[in-house]
Structure 1
Amino acid sequence: MDLSTALPAERRAATATERQFWFAERIAPGSPAWRVLSTVRIEGAPDREVLATAAARVVARHPALRSVFAPADGELWCATVPPVAPPLLELPPGTSFDAAARELADSGLLDPATGRHVVLALAEDTGDVPGATLYVLTHHLVYDGLSHEVFTADLAQAHARVVAGEPEPAPLADRVPQPPDAARRAELSAHWRTVLAGVPDLPGDSDGPTQRELARSEPHAHVVRFPGQAGVAVREAARRLACPPFAVLLTAYAQALYDLCGAEDFCIGTPVSTRAPDLADAIGCLLTTLPVRIRMPAEADACERTWTTFTDGLFHMDLPQDDLIRAVRTRPGRRMPLYQALFAYESWPRPVHDAGTVRMRTEPVTPLGIQAEVLLQVNELPGHRLDGMLQAPAGGYWAGRLAQLSEAVGRRLALLTTTTEEIAR
């Protein structure tokens, strides 16, 4: 990103998450780890001109999609600029996610430094039923998983208005979460120092990798296949254990990591939304990564303790990530601080949106690049079906263990979702 970008007079301080990804881009420019490629399924035959006009309206509506960032006076600032209509590329019919990712990466059209935050590509279906996939390339500076739901809902509404010849509502105001004041920041720092005191790294490559090395690594992925009724079983176990399905799945992952590396005390990072009700319809990177300390994961009450630890973290998650790391990290090291494993869970509803002549819905967002030494992403699909993916940097400690880790996750999840009566039988 160009450090010399001149910002308009009206500007605001960047949020903690925006700072995080701005500096990440400086560490590893162009890394796919900082980019988001999401998909919109379109039912019906799309009109490219209407779709392009609708997308331009969505960009004009959301300040984050026409924002620029630059440092000045020891602070990172954000300002909005006039909107730029996103390019809409045409891909061969049936183009896969991986092929679309390569095509969009090679296009060089995404340029956050100048406020060009959205690039679109359309691939029509190959079957007899009219349909298409719209690929949406953005940057984590301004976009997260829930932003994709907002983008798709607004795109559908804008598409319907274009078809009907109706104008677009006024642009939204620039709204962001407010940072804690000095007293609250001191209180939060003290809390996290206590909670994470002495937490060791997850066993792995002792001298790395660094975040820069991770971001430049080639990702190695392994599909996690859950049985057809796994999602229902997880929900039943969650009710029995008085916690949400998220806690059951996170515990199974923690136990699987323990099975493979023997760690009894470590952290798993998990993305958590920072959207207050007034930000429900906003696009932006409105999240933080919460460190969840895992202790004695093989014990019988592991799920309940994991949920208690996580909920305690939710009450203290307003400490900016960089402040949290400064408060807690007490020993030198090249590896990612606090956590080296990530767990991402996408469970929100994915409604079908009427867009006038077509219908639109989102699909789960698949990570493009490496943001941790090992990642498990689980998506809840319609009918409480689960799918998942493990990811690690190729050639790293976990790359050759992903198949074993997948089996361990499945085995631990089966144990967590089996009742005492079933075990007795």
Structure 2
Amino acid sequence: AVEHRAAVNHMQWMQQALPLNKYDTVLHRTSITFDASIWELFAPLIAGARLLLTPPSTHRDPGALARLVVDGSVTVLQVVPSLLSSLLQQSTVKQWHALRRLCCGGEAFASHLWAQCRSHLKSTTVYNLYGPTETCIDASFHPCHDTDTSVTVPIGRPVANTQTYVLDTGLRLTPPGVAGELYIGGLGLARGYWGRPGLTAARFVACPFGARGERMYRSGDLVRWNPDAQLEFVGRVDDQVKVRGFRIEPGEIETVLTQHPAVTQAVVVAREDQPGDKRLIAYVVAGGEGCRSEVLRDYLRERLPEYMVPAAVMVLDGLPLTPNGKLDRTALPVPQFGSAGIGRVPRTPQEQLLCELFADVLGLPVVGAEDNFFDLGGHSLLATRLIARIRATLGVELELRALFELPTVVGVAGVLDQSGRARLAVVGQVRPERVPLSFAQRRLWFLHQLEGPSPTYNIPLALRLSGPLNREALQAALADVVARHESLRTIFPQHEGVPYQQVLDPESARPALHLTETTSTDLSPALRAAARYEFELDSDIPLRAELMVLAPDEQVLLILVHHIAGDGWSLGPLSRDLATAYAARCQGQHPGWAPLPVHYVDYTLWQHQLLGDQADPESLFATQLAYWTQALAGLPDQLTLPTDRPRPPVASYRGDYLTVDIDAGLHQRLRELARRAGASLFMVLQAALAVLLSKLGAGDDIPIGSPIAGRTDQALEELIGFFVNTLVL
């Protein structure tokens, strides 16, 4: 809901800052459903200039549009960068002699595209305009200069009667050069979103820098002030993606790609074409020789950390655009992995079976015998999954290191004969009257008895739900998930002082959906308070659900799982199963998922069977215990480190983490060091941490705990349960 005065303010500013005259011809090509069409229509009418309407057939045809600029003697043109890149490739651009002003906006304006403008449009003044619809067309502008050499052209300074603030997460002003979220205030602000009070409250917030009652719009854009007091666009707050635990800005990868001489355009997205398997995919438009997928991936490997190299690079004739000329991400094609028939076919039954396992894990139709697992989109988590599949199918224990050293079907087949036989698979078990706790559960239960109920071991999962919500369907879906996973309906009573697992029947373990009404301002404190719920392990099921209601169409679902029933990996199956069940319940159906091959109780009994009795000196339990008792003998309970304050007598568990960025050059040198030492990058960094701790006075023998997934069997991959273990290094 944009007020008329906002549009009037914008028109007045444009005529002052970018004046038109009666000799100008403005091309109107933007759809009237898009806010930029307002100035294309009214600015020339206000100034008495000529308005040229674009024929419908010309809107999305760069060649026809470029010709229209020539034939219509257009002097003022507005386009988005995606379309501008295509227009500059047309031969008729050389005839744009009448064009005196080019306005670019709607997307980030890359510096390489500005360089092309300087080359092709020497007599044209180019402006970079920025502004979301919520602030009425444009909030800032920047006349482009030859000195604009940053990754993207600056978005400049605010337009008339507009204020811009760069704030951190605490709504504090950031210093120059430090990125923060852009907030916008002034006459251009819309009243809000029609019929969506919850979203309005979340995006239009009180302005702490203005008069009482003034508001500002939360743009979701990351920006910073440069040394010239110009705003620079950094990226989107919600564009940051997390892939395999790494937080990644796709724009950084796009920038490196567009620096390749054979690439004219690039976009990088995180796709999850298979549930739980998120991968980076790059799409590029070729501008010369050498624009091939494998060449570009090698190019990226030399300049970026491995986790930022896309699993696939797809070369397109052009990027798909919306009717407004913006990038249409929904129309980007599904990536094609594999060698497209290049490479030899499997020659033995074993190679054929391995090819099928490779393809199944990677989600590909076919894999060649000499295709590299990691070049096809594989990574460490998928490698662990592949080894579990090989163990289950061939009964052979393949070391993870062997797959990294020989990442092809041919290589794996060559070492299988030297690999040891696999241990027993996890299968359904005959259950005793009282099922013991797994060894991981036993440790956590002991801590619970020692310290009492505590939120320390709660695992929170918060999901923002926008739009209409069927609460009855959500309640039923939660019950479906608890019924599917026995670990979520297991309590831990005692018999003669010994705890055991008691799996409740689904009907008596139906979880309640607790409702809490709150506001966007109070949401974070409310979530933190709710996440500190204290489970009683002998009577509470280890799952709790609370729905934070901000508005009828805006809610946040908080799910708490006690660590005794799940781990970080478990949040994946939990989210997927809840989404499946909710979709089915909204249709009045039961979720049609396949039954789980095993349950956590089966894993517990298998674990006890594998490790044996501690009293048996020949058991794996006894031998492992003897080894670790000797290996850890003499180590201190605590590392002696210089701390800034005394340690409390009782741990509060109020910790924090610090993120340290490693530049691409240092990362590359670390990888080279790892290769020379025959080690992984993790080993090198772990050694560096040990050296640092030693220099700080922690001694020479430093134990470092590292969590491992513990899901060594294919049957455990989709199970919610406590499998993670801490390995002492």
TM-score by length of 1: 0.55
SS at match of 1:12: coil
Once the two structures are TM-superposed, the CA of residue 91 in structure 1 deviates from its matched residue by 5.1
Candidates 656, 672, 684, aligned match of 1:221: 656
Residue aligning to 1:84? 510
> Aligned equivalents of 2:678 and 2:586: distance in 1?
48
Residues 515 and 547, structure 2, Cα contact 8 Å, conserved in 1:
yes
Candidates 14, 37, 44, aligned match of 2:460: 37
Residue aligning to 1:287? 724
Residues 122 and 134, structure 1, Cα contact 8 Å, conserved in 2:
yes
Distance 1:233 1:84, change over 3 A: farther
Q: What does the per-residue CA deviation read over 1:237-293, in whole Å, with 9 as the maximum and x for residues that have no partner?
A: 58635544443443343333234334321212222222222211111111222221x
Distance 1:38 1:234, change over 3 A: farther
Distance 1:200 1:237, change over 3 A: farther
The farther-off stretch of 252-261 and 282-291 is 252-261
Residue aligning to 2:472? 49
The farther-off stretch of 29-38 and 96-105 is 96-105
- Mapped pair 1:60 → 2:483: yes
Residues 473 and 586, structure 2, Cα contact 8 Å, conserved in 1:
yes
Q: What does the per-residue CA deviation read over 1:318-340, in whole Å, with 9 as the maximum and x for residues that have no partner?
A: xxxxxxxxxxxxxxxxxxxxxxx
Residue aligning to 1:266? 702
**1:160-199 → structure 2 map (5 Å cutoff):** 160-168=583-591, 169=593, 172=596, 173=599, 174-177=601-604, 178-179=607-608, 180-181=611-612, 182=616, 183-199=619-635
Distance 1:197 1:112, change over 3 A: closer
> Aligned equivalents of 2:666 and 2:571: distance in 1?
23
Residues 272 and 290, structure 1, Cα contact 8 Å, conserved in 2:
yes
Distance 1:254 1:21, change over 3 A: same
Residue aligning to 1:19? 442
- Mapped pair 1:120 → 2:120: no
Residues 491 and 542, structure 2, Cα contact 8 Å, conserved in 1:
no
> Aligned equivalents of 2:539 and 2:669: distance in 1?
45
Residue aligning to 1:253? 689
Residue aligning to 1:135? 558
SS at match of 1:221: coil
> Aligned equivalents of 2:536 and 2:665: distance in 1?
41
Q: What does the per-residue CA deviation read over 1:148-167, in whole Å, with 9 as the maximum and x for residues that have no partner?
A: 11111111111121123221
Once the two structures are TM-superposed, the CA of residue 81 in structure 1 deviates from its matched residue by 0.9
Distance 1:266 1:236, change over 3 A: closer
Q: Percent identity between the aligned chains?
A: 26
Amino acid at match of 2:710: T
Residues 52 and 88, structure 1, Cα contact 8 Å, conserved in 2:
no
> Aligned equivalents of 1:68 and 1:154: distance in 2?
22
Residue aligning to 2:82? none
Distance 1:237 1:144, change over 3 A: farther
Q: Relative contact order (alpha carbons < 8 A, sep ≥ 6): 1 or 2 greater?
A: 1
> Aligned equivalents of 1:60 and 1:19: distance in 2?
24
Distance 1:54 1:189, change over 3 A: same
Amino acid at match of 1:105: R
> Aligned equivalents of 2:456 and 2:514: distance in 1?
23
Residues 24 and 34, structure 1, Cα contact 8 Å, conserved in 2:
no
> Aligned equivalents of 2:662 and 2:470: distance in 1?
39
Distance 1:243 1:116, change over 3 A: same
Distance 1:204 1:231, change over 3 A: closer
> Aligned equivalents of 2:687 and 2:603: distance in 1?
32
The structure with the largest alpha-carbon Rg is: 2
> Aligned equivalents of 1:124 and 1:253: distance in 2?
44
Amino acid at match of 1:65: L
Candidates 520, 529, 532, aligned match of 1:102: 529
The farther-off stretch of 25-34 and 97-106 is 97-106
Residue aligning to 1:352? none
> Aligned equivalents of 1:238 and 1:37: distance in 2?
38
> Aligned equivalents of 2:722 and 2:538: distance in 1?
16
- Mapped pair 1:72 → 2:487: no
Residue aligning to 1:151? 574
SS at match of 2:722: coil
The farther-off stretch of 170-179 and 180-189 is 170-179
> Aligned equivalents of 2:494 and 2:435: distance in 1?
11
SS at match of 1:39: strand
TM-score by length of 2: 0.34
> Aligned equivalents of 2:526 and 2:670: distance in 1?
35
Amino acid at match of 1:281: E
Alignment: residue pair count: 276
> Aligned equivalents of 1:213 and 1:203: distance in 2?
17
Residues 270 and 291, structure 1, Cα contact 8 Å, conserved in 2:
yes
Residues 91 and 121, structure 1, Cα contact 8 Å, conserved in 2:
no
SS at match of 1:289: strand
> Aligned equivalents of 2:662 and 2:557: distance in 1?
29
